Amino acid sequence: MDDMTALKCDHFIRSLVEDCSIDTVPVAEVWPEVERAECLARGAALKWASGVFCRPEYLERLSQYRKRESQRTASIHTRLKSMVQSYLEGVGWGLEQLQEAKVELREVSHALKKAGLESNQNADRVKPLERLREVSVNHCQLFAAVSNLPRLYSVRSMVLETERLVESRRLLEAHARLMDLERWQDDILWQLHGAAGTARSALSSEDKELVDKYFSGVGQLVDALGKELWAVVSSALALARQNPTPFVSAVRIVEREEALDQVLLEERGGTGNNSRPMPPGRPRCWRACFFRVLEEAVSARFRSVSYLHTRGPGLAGHLSALQHATMADLATVRHLLEHCVPPHYRLTGAYLRASHRCLHAHLLQVSSWDLESGEIFAVLNWVRHIYNSPDMMGHPDLVTELEREELGPLISAEGLEQLQGKYVQSVRKSVSEWMRKALQVELQDWQRDQEPDTDHEGFYQTSLPTIITQMLEENARVALMIGEALRDQTIQMGLYEMENLLNRFRDALVEFGKEHRRNMSNNKNKFYLHYLLASISNCIILKKSTESLQQQQTSRSAGQFSRTPPNPLAALDRAVRRACRLVMDQLLLDLQPLLPGLLTRPWLVHGDPTPKLCHVLEHHLELYGRVRPPCRERLQEEAQWLMVVEYIRALMQKRLVCRSADERRKLTQQMVRDDQLFREILHGLEGDGLVPDVNPLALLPILADFIRLKDPSMLTLEVSGLVAKYPDISEEHVCVLLDIRGDVSRDIRGAVLDLLEQSAPPLPAGYRPIFTDILVPPTTMAFCLPTAKCA
């Protein structure tokens, strides 16, 4: 930018600042902030101009900017002048108003001074009138006494007459006389005060005692009349059905008293010295007393319902009597008494409130008793279903009143929870006792000298599952009549007790087995096996019942119980496993006398004792058919495994070692014949498709082929196939098989053993070991002298 341009720009900026600024020289002496504001304005203007005229060509619009800023400055000046002018006008108007107020205040002050002077002058003139005021007061009192003498003399007779009317229950007439007496008493008390402006404190204690003495019978009349009124109100239900006139009279008197209370409160409710005082005993609030007496009468009605035979089965009858009495009283109130009172009484609603409160208190008392399950059920059913049903508070004619009153629950939610908890505990106590007795009966049945009972399908069973199932299902059904929550709690309790029962049942099975082994010599329990099988069938029935109960529970009840949830199915599985184990032990016990004859020289020649073994096995399998599926198939499978394992265990005993190829041939032929006999007995397993992945019967032909193999050099291949099918076979088992052959050289034995060491496959998933349960007896070295041959 050249010097000329800079000079023009500086001249424009100075002129711009001068135009934008206000002549503040004299003002700055008063307000220093103005000088600082001017400096800030100059700085802002310089900054703005430096930004706008940063280039020479922008100076062409200098005149436009100057003109625009001049117009803006002129506009600002105009607005400032207008604003200052308006402020000045306002200040001037305010000063005028203050001047006028000052003049008016001066005039008022002069008037007050003048009034004060005149008041001081009148005070001296009033003093001679004090004696006249005293005479006037005495005259008024004497005049009141003279004018009230006839009334005072007739008070006693009026009181006696009113007492007679009250006793004869002529309530309206008695109340009219009583109002006259009270009015006389009130007038006399007021007249004794003197003039209307006289304070009440002016009444001397002697005068008040004198009036109270003359009217001493009025208070007693009020009490007597009130007593008769409340007696009538208490017996309103009975009077409504016979003669409602006394009740109507009582209501009219109550309304008169209520209206009189309101008038007196409005007229004499002030606290000033000139206000007329309230008569003695006012306000009476007899309308509130009316409803209080009505509630007490309702409570008495509830107490009048017989409490005899309330406990036990009589509680349901007691609640039913309460229902009928309440509904009969409500009908009387709705149809008769409601027409005897003003509409704003809403007598039906008041009776509903009173009945609800009395029932609430009564049921709290009943709930605090030590109730049995049947009694708690009666209370819960009455509260949750009967009370709000159309037969009681849900009656169509009462629904509108109930909506207005908002009575609330008869028993709180916490109270219902506690009551349901007591119900569940009471039921649990009886269920536990019934289960204990049922188990005792079951244990006694096990000692019977006859077969267990059978159902329509021919399966063994006893009375235990029927008792338990019916008891739990009945409790669940009864609890559902109250609600799903109570049903879920009852089922949960039943499942806990079922689990405890099954644990005791399992312990009883163990003890039953021990007792049977102790008494085997005297053959005390001939049907031991039969009752074991019946116990297994019972467990299957209980399992179905348990699953049915669990399905009845709602899904939301799973997290409502803080305790560990019951697991009766696991307890059932443990009991079934223990019973099956005892059944297999009995099978082994029956087979034990015959097993030593297997795979011996006599067996090789005659085939004994395989037919006897098959007979024992067939007898057991026939009994297993009396067991419900799937445990029937499980027992048959376990019997098959036990038979094969014992057969292989007998083979591993090396009771028979072949000396020639002919013996090996006979041995394998006999093993194949035994296998055929076993298959004929166990053919049902294959027909039902319940043969396991590793069929133990398939092992016998494989072992026979191993022994029958003519070329020993092929044993390595045969062993590899055997290990592939039965990976749990050990080196000791293979050595025994090689020994039984009797023709295996040391080299072949070493090659076979090396193969076993190299190929030790892991057991596949789901594989059930068979050789693991078969122990090979240790080899006993025969004593001999250390000869060169032995060396």
CA–CA gap between residue 513 and residue 528 (Å, rounded):
8
What's the length of the chain?
Answer: 791
CA–CA gap between residue 623 and residue 435 (Å, rounded):
28
Write down the pLDDT at residue 530. 94
Does the residue 786 lie in any domain?
no
Per-residue b or e along 407-431, where b marks 16 or more CB atoms closer than 10 Å to that residue's CB: beebbeeebbeebbebbbebbbeeb
H or E element: which one contains 454? strand 453-454
How far from the centroid of its chain's Cα atoms is residue 364's Cα?
20
Does the residue 6 lie in any domain?
no
Tokens 């016979």, residue located: 242
Task: Tell me the backbone φ, ψ of residue 743, rounded to 5 degrees.
Answer: -130, 20
Q: Is the alpha carbon torsion for 330, 332, 334, 339 positive or negative?
A: negative
Residue 446 sits in a domain whose CATH number is 1.10.357.50
CA–CA gap between residue 578 and residue 574 (Å, rounded):
6
Q: Which of 373, 358, 362 is nearest to 313 (CA)?
A: 373
**Whole-angstrom Cα Rg for the chain:** 58
Are residue 469 and residue 554 in the same domain, yes or no? Answer: yes
Q: How far is CA 411 from CA 68, 317, 359, in A?
A: 86, 20, 9
Are residue 225 and residue 296 in the same domain, yes or no? Answer: no
Please give the average pLDDT of every successive group of 10 residues along the chain, which has 791 residues. Answer: 51 53 47 79 81 74 81 89 90 90 90 85 72 76 68 70 82 83 74 49 61 71 86 87 88 89 76 63 87 88 65 80 88 89 88 89 86 89 89 81 74 91 93 94 92 91 93 93 92 93 95 89 82 94 92 64 77 94 94 92 88 93 92 92 94 91 92 92 59 71 92 90 90 92 90 86 86 81 46 36
Does the residue 450 lie in any domain?
yes
Are residue 430 and residue 469 in the same domain, yes or no? Answer: yes
**Token duo for residue 518:** 């102790």
CA–CA gap between residue 377 and residue 748 (Å, rounded):
83
Does the residue 604 lie in any domain?
yes
Are residue 54 and residue 120 in the same domain, yes or no? Answer: yes
The pTM assigned to this predicted structure is 0.68
Are residue 727 and residue 627 in the same domain, yes or no? Answer: yes
User: Cis omega before residue 32 (within 30°)?
Assistant: no
Which 8-state DSSP code applies to residue 313? T
Per-residue b or e along 607-617, where b marks 16 or more CB atoms closer than 10 Å to that residue's CB: eebbeebbebb
Q: Which of 671, 694, 714 is nearest to 769 (CA)?
A: 694
Q: HEC states along 735-770? A: HHHHHHHCCCCHHHHHHHHHHHHHCCCCCCCCCCCC
Please list, in sequence order, all residues whose beta carbon lies within 8 angstroms of the beta carbon of residue 587, skipping any fewer than 6 positions away: 616, 617, 620, 639, 642
Are residue 201 and residue 100 in the same domain, yes or no? Answer: no
Does the residue 423 lie in any domain?
yes
Q: Which of 598, 599, 595, 539 is nearest to 570 (CA)?
A: 539
Are residue 467 and residue 534 in the same domain, yes or no? Answer: yes
**Token duo for residue 359:** 């029932």
Task: Decide if 393 contacts 387 (C-beta within 8 A).
Answer: yes
Are residue 534 and residue 436 in the same domain, yes or no? Answer: yes
Which 8-state DSSP code applies to residue 273? T
Residue type, 323: Q
> H helices within 396-446, ranges in order?
396-405, 413-446
Which 8-state DSSP code applies to residue 791? -
Residue 690 sits in a domain whose CATH number is 1.10.357
Q: Which of 473, 591, 598, 448 is nearest to 541 (CA)?
A: 473
CA–CA gap between residue 174 and residue 362 (Å, rounded):
39
CA–CA gap between residue 359 and residue 388 (Å, rounded):
13
Q: Which of 159, 207, 190, 204 is nearest to 279 (CA)?
A: 190
Are residue 423 and residue 572 in the same domain, yes or no? Answer: yes
CA–CA gap between residue 119 and residue 301 (Å, rounded):
73
Are residue 194 and residue 223 in the same domain, yes or no? Answer: yes
Does the residue 466 lie in any domain?
yes
Q: Which domain range does residue 188 map to? A: 132-265+280-284
3-state DSSP call for residue 453?
A: strand
Residue type, 571: A
**Token duo for residue 195:** 């003039």
Are residue 296 and residue 376 in the same domain, yes or no? Answer: yes
Does the residue 350 lie in any domain?
yes
Please list, in sequence order, all residues whose beta carbon lies within 8 angstroms of the beta carbon of residue 582, skipping any fewer than 6 positions away: 509, 512, 513, 532
Which 8-state DSSP code applies to residue 277? P
Q: Which of 353, 354, 379 is nearest to 366 (CA)?
A: 379
Ordered DSSP codes for 149-215: HHHHHHHHHHHHHHHHHHHTT-HHHHHHHHHHHHHHHHHHHHHTT-STTS-GGGS-HHHHHHHHHHT
Tokens 């499980």, residue located: 634
Please name every residue paired with 460 in a beta bridge, in sequence order, or none if there are none.
454
Are residue 690 and residue 617 in the same domain, yes or no? Answer: yes
Does the residue 513 lie in any domain?
yes
User: Cis omega before residue 565 (within 30°)?
Assistant: no
How many domains in the chain? Answer: 5
CA–CA gap between residue 207 and residue 181 (Å, rounded):
18
Within 13 Å and on the Cβ side, how many CA atoms surround 455?
15
Please name every residue paired with 454 in a beta bridge, in sequence order, or none if there are none.
460
> H helices within 192-313, ranges in order?
205-214, 216-234, 236-242, 245-268, 286-304
